[in-house]
Structure 1
Amino acid sequence: MRNICVIGGSRYFGKHLVELEREAGNKVTVINRGSTPRLPGTTRLVADRDDERQLREALGARTFDVVFDQVAYTPEQAATARRVFEGRTGRYVMTSTMEVYDPATFAALPTGPEGPLLAEDRLDLAALPPAREPSRAGDAPDPATAYAEGKRRAEAVLLTDPAFDTVTVRTAHVLGGGSADFTGRLAHYVERIAAGRPVDIHADPRPTSFVHHEEIARFLHWTGSGTFTGPVNAASHGALTVTELCDLIAAGTGRRPRYRTVPGGGAASPFSFDRSYAMDNGRAARLGFGFGRVEDWLPGAAAEARADALVRTG
């Protein structure tokens, strides 16, 4: 039996991860702010991870074999975790995002025509420029840029001179789960296509990467048991453009998707991108993990979302 800590993990695929750890016979401690019920079979510690003193007090003298960090969004949070968990764990797994590769949020990754899938070494964390301080109140980055930049810098804190064996899992867009999917992005497409409403897309949409919510939980669980370190991409095989995504969703509705092209710079539906940054999952494969194919699990996930929509609408 191993001693596992999960920071966050109270919803969506984090709950699946906790379930997998429990099913493996491990002792699981979940750290959150106490706003959700305690997960069955776990020990819950209530603490604000941004408050280092409170986090240390909640942990007491506890140590862990593996820490899964589901909610590290900023370099400050990563630095706090690095200090607090140094000497408490031998392995630290941070859930990051494919958005770290988005050229629209990082000038060092130029936007260009569709190219090869991006491997982990495409992003040089050691070459990140100094963080830019807003010069005035209205100069703050947009939420998407702030999210991607926060994840890049959080990775850099944990992977530069690491205090423990560290893995940063760059997760593709997570789909599936019906009502459990709090993002509602798959439901957006399922409901629009079923109702015959148009989907807003770019004139030349580029492919992106996806992963099933249960698959990413299995990958995180598997990663916790490994010995490798560094960044690793987590994505199902088969990058899709938004129209390819809609075609797979529509296959179960008997309707053809309708599209509306947005003007240059306009806001499109989720997963419509005018730049390509789909991920190469080759490192995970070489390490021994076999991802499935999007085309195999997406129809089932779409059916689950349609069933959930029927329940909600009566």
Structure 2
Amino acid sequence: MKLLVLGGTHHVGRAVVETALERGDDVSTLNRGLSRAPAPGVRALLADRTDPEAVRRALDGQEWDAVIDTWAWAPRVVRDTARLLSGRVGHYGYVSSRGVHRWPWPAGADEQAPLVDGDPGSTDDTDYAAAKRGGELAVLEYSPEAALLARAGMILGPYEDVGRIPWWLRRMEKGGRVLAPAPAETPLQYIDVRDLAAWLLRSAERGLSGAFTTTGPPGAITLGDLLSTALEVTGCDTELVWAEPELLLRHGLPLGMEFGLRLPDGSVPSGMHDADVSAAQAEGLTTRPLRETLADTWTWLQAEGDPAPRADAPSPDTWLDAAAEQRLLDHLAH
């Protein structure tokens, strides 16, 4: 395909670019050119997406078979770009989020679960759910028959800049006894960023449209599987010490929030890790083994170092206060 990736230097965008190059696609990217040098073979178009005139100049006179858009902030930016690309791309893939569903999420929810309100013309990016829904509506406004809305769950794997798995791997690297949020049997859903990228590209090639929940199958792994496998791939001398949520809350430790296992008040949300993904699976979404995801993330971290965190992501430092952790570990040792 002749492919345009809006962004292409961080997390999902980077994985899409690398996967597309492996497939032999003709890849262009549009970004400010400030973060990373373009990958070999990529045609780099430079513009700040918040400047519609600069974007128009960068895209002027060109057409693509497909575009992949990972924008996560003000919906107006998506609308401006979708308007410029209207009639010039055959497929518009928008990386959205399960967050567009109205809270609280029902158990076993599929694509038909209620949605939050969104405004495609909004310049507000403070409400992530509303911004993503606004982005969806912006794409549908200009490419209704060609729009693919990929409502992703928890995205892991190399290049993660939210800080979930990189934080845990670095914590385990330090060794010693490490608190973990019980129960270990808690089920988790996630998608490897490269599996998401591959599905987006295959779907673009096929001209798939519509909204799909894109995450791993429910019940496939547990929190214990995730953390014990992360410990194994680091090869570090670390011991997991499981602590009940109520105990963590009393000690001011919000561990578990990074995986969506509990809310700031300590309550346990429903529907977070049991989404119905049968529609995406029927359209070819597959997931690689957990060990491969974590081992490749560890290899990337060692090679490139910790990524700069996303501006809209909570600071990983909020997940664990070292002194509070040690007090609780001492308490549990007696």
Structure 1 match to 2:317: none
The whole-number CA distance in structure 2 between the counterparts of 1:228 and 1:310 is 35
The whole-number CA distance in structure 2 between the counterparts of 1:188 and 1:17 is 23
Structure 1 match to 2:104: 110
Aligned residues: 286
Give, in angstroms, the shift of residue 168 of structure 1.
Answer: 1.2
Contact 2:182/2:242 (8 A) holds in 1: no
User: Map of 1:132-171 to 2, 5 A cutoff?
Assistant: 146-160=127-141, 162-163=143-144, 165-171=146-152
Structure 1 match to 2:327: none
The whole-number CA distance in structure 2 between the counterparts of 1:21 and 1:52 is 26
Give, in angstroms, the shift of residue 97 of structure 1.
Answer: 2.1
| 191-200 or 277-286, larger mean C-alpha shift | 191-200
Structure 2 match to 1:122: 113
Change (3 A) 1:201 1:44: same
Q: Secondary structure at the match of 1:258?
A: strand
The whole-number CA distance in structure 2 between the counterparts of 1:200 and 1:207 is 14
Structure 1 match to 2:226: 245
Contact 2:184/2:223 (8 A) holds in 1: no
Structure 2 match to 1:69: 69
User: Map of 1:73-92 to 2, 5 A cutoff?
Assistant: 73-92=73-92
The whole-number CA distance in structure 1 between the counterparts of 2:112 and 2:5 is 27
The whole-number CA distance in structure 2 between the counterparts of 1:230 and 1:5 is 20
The whole-number CA distance in structure 1 between the counterparts of 2:72 and 2:92 is 12
Structure 1 match to 2:29: 30
Contact 1:248/1:298 (8 A) holds in 2: no
Structure 2 match to 1:96: 96
Give, in angstroms, the shift of residue 201 of structure 1.
Answer: 3.6
User: Map of 1:1-314 to 2, 5 A cutoff?
Assistant: 2-35=1-34, 36-101=36-101, 108-110=102-104, 115-116=107-108, 118-124=109-115, 128=117, 146-160=127-141, 162-163=143-144, 165-177=146-158, 180-194=159-173, 195-199=175-179, 201=181, 207-239=187-219, 240=221, 242-252=223-233, 253=235, 255-260=238-243, 261=245, 262-263=248-249, 267-269=254-256, 270-274=258-262, 275-276=269-270, 277-278=272-273, 279-294=275-290, 296-298=291-293, 300-301=295-296, 304=299, 308=302
Q: Secondary structure at the match of 1:5?
A: strand
Give, in angstroms, the shift of residue 293 of structure 1.
Answer: 4.7
Contact 1:6/1:67 (8 A) holds in 2: yes
The whole-number CA distance in structure 2 between the counterparts of 1:18 and 1:65 is 15
Give, in angstroms, the shift of residue 78 of structure 1.
Answer: 1.9
Change (3 A) 1:302 1:17: closer
Give, in angstroms, the shift of residue 72 of structure 1.
Answer: 4.4
Q: CA RMSD in A?
A: 3.4
Q: Secondary structure at the match of 2:77?
A: helix
Compute the TM-score of the two structures, normalised by the length of structure 1.
0.76
Contact 1:237/1:293 (8 A) holds in 2: no
Give, in angstroms, the shift of residue 174 of structure 1.
Answer: 2.2
Compute the TM-score of the two structures, normalised by the length of structure 2.
0.72
In structure 1, stretches of 5+ residues that fail to align are 102-107, 134-139
Change (3 A) 1:51 1:246: same
Contact 1:212/1:297 (8 A) holds in 2: no
Identity %, equivalent residues: 22
Matching residue's letter, 1:121: Q
